[in-house]
Amino acid sequence: MRTRCPKCNYHWSWKLTDGRKKCRSCGHRYTSQSIWDACRLSEKNKSKLLDYFVLGVPAYRLRFKKLGNRKTIEQFFRSIRAALCLAEQCKPILKGIIECDEAVFGGRRKGKRGWGARGKILVFGMMKRNGNVRVVPVPSRETETLIPLIQEYTEPGSLYYTDDWHAYGSLRLRGNHVIIKKGDGRPKGRDHINGIEGFWSYAKHWLYQYRGVHKKFFPIYLAELSFRFNNREYDIFPLILRILKNTDINEINQI
């Protein structure tokens, strides 16, 4: 199980005779527990809650199930999402045929619509065609924001498919670049970015059931969605259970 100091985030520690750990960098003493063991609910209730989480049942719909009070359930679900966020950060970089696109998330607002609407969250996505997706909340859709993310999460020499937004103009220096031209919202010709656009549709449909997500917690909800999508061919219950039992509670406290 990975452990890091909750004070300085250093990864190396001594184990003390009382069971605690002492950070080799700052000397801070702390208790190391997995996320699963740190939750004080019974094993039976935790398993049931995890099953409901896998099925996508929001915490407010479990208020009559007698598995814990609403705050406890919300905290447990939030810990799961933070653990999945940590797991998604460790995914390998994308390579091959990659689709890039941006999308806005948020409920209906009065006033201007589209990219300039107030109260919306802008998200940038990169997806290997027929493969995994990487999504990141971003402050803008300009070149200085998007290109560094592409450099960090994709392999040089890949084949990039994007729309004709000017921020992607320098991608030809990193690899092959195909620009998708659209008319009436549909791509002209056979080239497309249907993969990442399909993920946007999937993500917005899944988030609708929560009736709004606080902006503070939106990144971990987004990580949950990318985890679900990237493991869409598997039963994610044992995957998440393994992550919860092998991730230290101090790791997600950093998130």
Report the distance separating Cα 41 and Cα 53, nearest Å.
Answer: 15
DSSP state of 142: S
Rounded-to-integer distance, Cα 24 and Cα 2, Å: 15
What's the domain count of the chain? 3
Blockwise average pLDDT, block size 10, the chain, 255 residues: 74 80 85 85 94 94 89 94 92 93 81 68 94 94 94 94 91 90 70 91 92 89 96 95 90 70
Instruction: Identify the pLDDT of residue 2.
Output: 58
Query: Can you give the pLDDT at residue 113?
Result: 66
**Given the structure tokens 């924001």, which residue do they identify?**
145
Same domain, 122 and 78: no
Show the CA angle centred on residue 27, arms to residues 22 and 31, nearest 5°: 35
Kindly state whether residues 76 and 163 are assigned to the same domain. no
Instruction: Specify the pLDDT at position 109.
Output: 64
Same domain, 109 and 223: yes
Domain identity same for 122 and 185? yes
Helix-helix angle 43-55:236-246, to 10 degrees:
130
What is the pTM assigned to this prediction?
0.85
Tokens for 177? Answer: 């670049």
Do 172 and 105 lie in a common domain?
Answer: yes
Residues 167 and 214 in one domain: yes
User: How much is the pLDDT for 50?
Assistant: 96
Q: Give yes or no: residues 58 and 146 share one domain.
A: no
The CATH number of whichever domain residue 133 belongs to comes to 3.30.420.10
Task: Label residue 92 exposed, middle or buried (CB < 10 Å: 0-12, 13-18, 19+).
Answer: exposed
Q: Residue 142 is part of which domain span?
A: 97-230
- Mark whether 209 and 114 lie in a shared domain: yes
Could you give the residue ranges of the DSSP H alpha helices within 39-187?
43-55, 70-89, 143-153
Residue type, 110: K
Rounded-to-integer distance, Cα 60 and Cα 111, Å: 31
